[in-house]
Chain A
Amino acid sequence: MEVQGLTVEFPTEDGLVRAVRGVDMHIAEGEVLGIVGESGSGKSVTALATMRLLPKRAQVSGQVLFEGRDLLTLSDRAMRGVRGSDIAMIFQDPMTALNPVFTVGEQIVEMIRAHAPVGKPLAWKRTVELLDLVGISEPSRRARQYPHEFSGGMRQRAMIAMAVANRPKLLIADEPTTALDVTIQAQVMEVITEVQKAVGSALLLITHDLGLVAGIAHRVQVMYAGRVFENGATDEIFYRSVNPYTKGLLRSIPRLDAKEKTRLYTIPGLPPSGLSRNEACPFRPRCEFADAVCGTVPELVEVVPGHQSRCHHTQEVSM
């Protein structure tokens, strides 16, 4: 998938909220791309825009190329064929993402049958296999239960089973573990990556937790205030970041080897509002490198091949 110049704006009572401001993004087959950024940086909106799942009033422009077709200009009917089949999504809150009045099995069967001419018995059999695949014990009994009879972690597993039911080429997971108990976050992450490998799909992993993408993602894209601030191979970002914002994020990861009594670093200040029309670099008020040059938004420039950063002070930051 190749996203070019994606822009999303919401007309609201307070004015136009510019949630996503020209995002480029590409994911190769089987690749794992991590998207990181603070709350409100436009990660979810970007993901939902590619699936065309935003509310109607959202104004979306740009291109979302998938297998040569622009998803943003596809007919509703053709788009429905893509959703759940070519691209599937796992949402943040498994407590509310499943319909409470249908059994978990029914909901997965529905996903299968929406895209393939499969009879119910066969779809049901496949559903039970899928639940087994994501590590749900007694899958045939569990399939007949309702979402409220599942724990949070199990619901997210069920969501994963549903998402991969049609072997999608791209799996989008929007903060799939944020709403879960810390003790099961790692398990669920493991299920996602295992299943993703088994199915052979690409994975777009959205999170605000840099630590989470470290071991999983091939590439990381850092977003801030609706823009991509840095983009590169995971190791590049973690060890050779040239962006003040990314560095701030990296410093705010709790470390096990930290000396006693060091307080966890936090980036000072708050991200700008989506309403902001300011032409300056949005990170300027929070940045230690900020000076007069930062009165304009920097371009995303290539630092080394495959590694881009959006900053006027790339030279100083990298030192």
Chain B
Amino acid sequence: MPPALSTARPMLSTARAKRGTGDWRLETRLKWLGGWVHMTGVFAYAVRRIFTTIPLLVAATFVVFVLVSISGDPLARLATCTTCSDAAYDRLIDLYELDKPIPLRYVGWITDAATGDLGTSTSLGEKPVAGIVAERLWNTALLAVPSFLLIAFLAVVLGVFSAIKQYSIGDYLVTGASFVGIAMPTFFFGLLLQAFWGVWWQDWTGWKPFYVTGKHVASFGDYLASATLPIITLTIVLLATESRFQRAAMLEVIGSDYIRTARAKGLSERRVIFKHALRNALIPLVTLWALDFAGLLGGSVITETIFAWPGLGQLLVSALPNLDLDLVMGLVMVAALLTISFNLLADLLYGVLDPRIRYD
């Protein structure tokens, strides 16, 4: 919070106390609870939003459930199995309730899911889906969290830099690099990194600083050595778009009247840019952050596959062809929940960053 507020507070309460006429109850509450009255508004808004996401979740999971259910027959594989007994058929029929129509199966799945039971995975040794997903989510987070922090930080730095140095050589370099980043497919950049560090660099120097495949977390050094390349791969593409976005937001703000006012006040250029301009230019970026972070936490199919990183994306790739219905549904559920909750978080953050927004 900007410093002036702290000095303002005591004055404010005395001013209110003096004014105290009509709604005395509100005033006491304001006086005793400080900002909490406002917080109640935000809280009510959040609760309302959470309730409105329930039908959204139901609709999304229903569509996916139907699509996966009609896309293949879990019994088909047993037909080619010579050693399997009839009991195996019965177990699968029983497990997936294949004797019931799809809508009824869905009702069964969603009631279980509502109580926290996401079912059993068939492709990964009959383990509970919830446990598998939780473990893979953690693995994905090992890449997603540092990558997100890197993206958010660098996007701001690059975006602000190219905005204040608009049309300079530096700006053109950043712009050119981000177009390359946007245009280049993820798999190409990932493979390039692997080839470079795994083959070429080693050939030249005889030294291999990074693992080019697999997750290694025996020590922190191992984690760094194995996570760096996938993190860079994840970062490049999103950073390219986010820095463009930050540049545009910053340029728009820099051209605004209140920036001219700030300059007319005789403030230093640093204060004008980093206090007055950046503070406003971050607001439109919040949504992008939320969506990108939710996407990263949902797992990247391509990056995790290239680097053999056992995260959610890789899990989805193996669950789909195996018609591991409960596992696929569990992953869909996680992705949907992530997107919805980060969207909500973004909307709440808006309220913190932009005083013009009111939740009522």
Contact = CB atoms under 8 A, between A and B. Distances in A.
Given A103-B4, A105-B4, A146-B355, A96 B256 contact: yes
A42 B279 CA distance: 32
Interface in B261-276: 261-269, 276
A117 interface: no
A263 to B, nearest CB: 36
Contact of A140 (B4, B5, B15): B15
B33 interface: no
A98 to B, nearest CB: 6
Interface in A79-131: 80-85, 88-89, 91, 93, 96-103, 105-106, 109-111, 114-115, 120-121, 123-124, 128
Contact of B4 (A80, A81, A82, A124): A124
A114 B266 CA distance: 7
Interface string B242-265: 000000000000001110111111
A144 interface: yes
A141 interface: yes
A110 B351 CA distance: 23
Contacts of B280: 99-101
B7 interface: yes
Contacts of B265: 83-84, 110-111, 114, 162
Contacts of B257: 91, 93, 96-97
B3 interface: yes
Q: Which has the most chain B C-beta neighbours within 10 Å: A96, A102, A103?
A: A102
Given A53-B260, A100-B354, A124-B11, A138 B19 contact: yes
A218 interface: no
B269 to A, nearest CB: 8
Nearest to A124: B7
A109 B3 CA distance: 10
A114 B8 contact: no
A313 B110 CA distance: 91
Contacts of A114: 265-267
Interface string B330-360: 0000000000000000000000011110000
B356 A146 contact: yes
B2 interface: yes
Nearest to A96: B257
A228 interface: no
Interface residues of B, number: 33
Contact of A81 (B19, B261, B266, B276): B266
Interface in B2-40: 2-8, 11-12, 15-16, 19
Interface in B293-325: none
A144 B2 CA distance: 12
Given A101-B279, A140-B15, A83 B355 contact: no
B264 A84 contact: yes
Given A105-B8, A106-B4, A106-B5, A96 B355 contact: no
Q: Which has the most chain A C-beta neighbours within 10 Å: B6, B15, B256, B280?
A: B15
Contacts of B8: 103, 105, 124, 140, 143-144
A106 B2 contact: yes
Interface in A151-196: 159, 162
Interface SS of chain A? helix
A226 B3 CA distance: 44
A148 interface: yes
A61 B355 CA distance: 42
A215 to B, nearest CB: 27
A124 B6 CA distance: 11
Contacts of B11: 124, 128, 140
A25 B4 CA distance: 40
A51 interface: yes
Given A146-B356, A148-B356, A89 B4 contact: no
A101 B260 contact: no
Q: Which has the most chain A C-beta neighbours within 10 Å: B7, B15, B265, B354?
A: B265
Contacts of A99: 258, 261-262, 276, 279-280
B34 to A, nearest CB: 13
19 contacts: A80-B267, A83-B266, A84-B264, A84-B265, A84-B267, A89-B264, A99-B258, A101-B279, A101-B355, A103-B8, A106-B5, A111-B265, A120-B4, A120-B7, A121-B7, A124-B8, A141-B12, A144-B5, A144-B12
Given A96-B256, A102-B2, 5 more contacts: A93-B257, A96-B257, A98-B258, A103-B4, A105-B4
Interface of A: 51, 53, 76, 80-85, 88-89, 91, 93, 96-103, 105-106, 109-111, 114-115, 120-121, 123-124, 128, 138, 140-141, 143-144, 146, 148, 159, 162
Interface of B: 2-8, 11-12, 15-16, 19, 256-258, 260-269, 276, 279-280, 283, 353-356
